[in-house]
Amino acid sequence: MAHNQSSPEAGVGPDRKAALNNTLRHRILTMQIAPGSVLDEVALSEEFGLSRPPVREAMRQLAGEGFIELEANRPARVTSMSYQSLRDFFLIAPMIYVAATRLAAEHASKADIAGLREIQDSFRDAVHSNDVDGRVFYNDKFHLRVGEIANNAYVLPSLRRLLIDHARIGKIFYRPSNARMLEELHEASRQHDEIIDAIANHDADRAEALIRAHLDLSRKNMAMYAAPEGMAISLGV
Amino acid sequence: MAHNQSSPEAGVGPDRKAALNNTLRHRILTMQIAPGSVLDEVALSEEFGLSRPPVREAMRQLAGEGFIELEANRPARVTSMSYQSLRDFFLIAPMIYVAATRLAAEHASKADIAGLREIQDSFRDAVHSNDVDGRVFYNDKFHLRVGEIANNAYVLPSLRRLLIDHARIGKIFYRPSNARMLEELHEASRQHDEIIDAIANHDADRAEALIRAHLDLSRKNMAMYAAPEGMAISLGV
DNA sequence: TGCGCGCAGAATGTCTACAAAATGTAGACT
DNA sequence: AGTCTACATTTTGTAGACATTCTGCGCGCA
């Protein structure tokens, strides 16, 4: 349990605004707040010990990052998901993930690799200790960090948007009772390690192959859940 | 002059907040506000007849879209550009533009095509009447609309970010005295028409080829401007 | 009984005023 | 003369109160 993003008493501390942002992100990623839910401004301002203006600013920011959707004179809602979202996700994700990973392999410094390994250590721990939220959280952090290492302002926006739904898809289709799924989580963790190695070696081609396999694993998992009997399901591509 | 986005007296009207957003976007796209410039909250609130809180909300929103950059306790600054930006842009732009255009070709309805043609009419007018800002504005609108028709929430964020710098690059390297450049603007306009036709015919392959040629034209223009004397370009901070 | 109108409650949007942080400047000390 | 420090100014951040808009319920009417 390395992270405590969702502390119950968040109304204290030096930087309550950052706490609000991080906590909301975490709750949305882990689906503690379900897609489509409404966010009440006063409730949040009371929870985090802020007045409404800074809360509203945070909302605008989160909306820009794709976590929530705003409409005039209407409450903020967590970005919704649909069957269409799944299709769109697996259609675009390979392109963006590959671009980010290849660029990361080209640009990564020693410090970047060290940072990546640190995140991956936390991710591995979460997988081994069956900490579902921690796994979702550090998986997000891992891929986001790869995107930051890529150091290209034009890939990051879509990558950020994809990662939100990547996390939520991972949570939706996660079934703890399934032994095969557990094995595949460990497989995903191993893939992370290999991706780091490929990036460290500046081997963009290998990094690309690995990230593609990584996404295919997610997609297969999801398809397996949605269509256990081997039904044809068109997942784009 | 079909658009009046930058009306001098913006402090009136029913929706001053939308006016603030649109005007700022327009000014940044056309570089009426240079990259790296600071935006003063009180000045904007006075200009648009608003108080600071809604202005600050708009700032957060624009920051999320990539127009400006925010730092704690520091004034908002228009997103800066550098030589690195140019490289990054032409590295990623083809990928995103192609994805958006192909998806648009697959999804476009009759109404979508009509909307595109309408925008393109305004763009063509701007090109023929040498309305530089109008050209930049409607070019942005055109490609943004294509992205909206693509109807994929994961391509749009990066496309939006790219379009900001696409507009600004177009302005930076625009030289009205150059006859060859004028001809290439008309060529770009013709390409728009062809892209619409390809999308209308659901011909994704042709749409892809056209959008690639469209970007190559921009890139060639820029290289032509940058390379002749072999001088390094200073892009204002 | 079903539909539409209108009012009451609640939530969002905005404003003014105050607090805190950062910057620029002037003065004093080394 | 240079630099550090303390203060004053400016600007950003926040709070609480007010205005406006939406929602839901109940009443009245066909």
* Minimum-distance residue to D20 (CA–C1'): A73
Residue A32 carries which DSSP code?
S
Residue A131 has pLDDT above 90, yes or no: yes
Interchain contact B195–A (C-beta under 8 A): no
Judged against a pLDDT cut of 80, whether residue B166 lies above it is answered with: yes
* Tens of pLDDT, residues B5-36: 444 445 565 689 999 999 999 999 999 999 99
At A223 the three-state DSSP class reads helix
Going by pLDDT thresholds of 50, 70 and 90, the confidence category of residue A145 is very high
What digits encode the pLDDT tens for the residues A34-60?
999 999 999 999 999 999 999 999 999
Kindly list the protein residues whose beta carbon lies within 7 Å of any strand D atom.
A 16-17, 49-54, 57, 72-74; B 38, 40-42, 52-53, 56, 72-76
Would you place residue B227 in the very low, low, confident or very high pLDDT band (cuts 50, 70, 90)?
low
Question: Which pLDDT score is estimated for A195?
Answer: 98
DSSP string, B141-176: HHHHHHHHHHT-TTTHHHHHHHHHHHHHHHHHT--T
Which bases along strand D come within 7 Å of a protein CB atom? 11-17, 21-23
pLDDT, mean of residues A2-24: 69
Q: Which of B16, B106, B158, B166 to mutate to test the interface with A (most CBs of A within 10 A)?
A: B158
pLDDT tens figures, B92-131: 999 999 999 999 999 999 999 999 999 999 999 999 999 9
CATH superfamily of A83-226: GntR ligand-binding domain-like (1.20.120.530)
Residue A227: pLDDT over 80: no
Going by the DSSP 8-state scheme, the letter that residue A77 receives in this structure is E
Q: Could you tell me the pLDDT band of residue A7, with boundaries at 50, 70 and 90? A: very low
Looking at per-residue pLDDT, the higher value among B218 and B231 belongs to: B218
Specify the fold of B16-78: Arc Repressor Mutant, subunit A (1.10.10)
The pLDDT, as a whole number, for residue A178 is 76
- HSE value, Cβ hemisphere, 13 Å, CA-based, for A76: 23
Cα dist from A49 to A32, A43, B197, whole Å: 21, 10, 56
ipTM, two decimals, is 0.91
* B153 inside 8 A of chain A by CB: yes
Distance CA B124, CA B191 (A): 11
Whether residue B88 and residue A158 make contact (CB cut-off 8 A), yes or no, is no
Angstrom distance, B16 CA to D25 C1': 34
| Bridge pairing between strands B68-71 and B38-39 | unpaired
pLDDT of residue B4: 40
The pLDDT value recorded for residue B172 is 87
- The model's pLDDT over A19-29, given as tens digits with 9 standing for 90+, comes to 999 999 999 99
Task: Report whether pLDDT(A204) > 90.
Answer: yes
Tell whether the model's pLDDT for residue A1 goes beyond 70.
no
Residues of B whose CB is below 8 A from A156: 158
Judge: B155–A92 Cβ closer than 8 Å, yes or no: yes
Residues from chain A contacting residue B161 (CB–CB below 8 Å): 153-154, 157
- Does the beta carbon of A61 lie under 8 angstroms from any beta carbon of chain B? yes
Closest CA to B48 of B98, B5, B10, B90: B10
In chain B, domain spans: 16-78, 83-226
Q: What is the mean pLDDT of residues B83-91?
A: 94
- How many residues can be counted in chain A? 237
Contacts of A25 in chain B (CB under 8 A): none
Supply the mean pLDDT for chain B.
90
Percentage of chain B modeled with pLDDT above 70: 89
What's the Å distance between residue B31 CA and nucleotide D9 C1'?
A: 31
Least confident among A105-114, A225-234, B57-66, B195-204: A225-234
- pLDDT grade, residue B144 (50/70/90)? very high
**Range of lowest pLDDT (B8-17, B86-95, B192-201):** B8-17
pLDDT at residue B174 in the model: 81
Average pLDDT, chain A: 90
Checking if the pLDDT of A226 tops 90, the result is: no
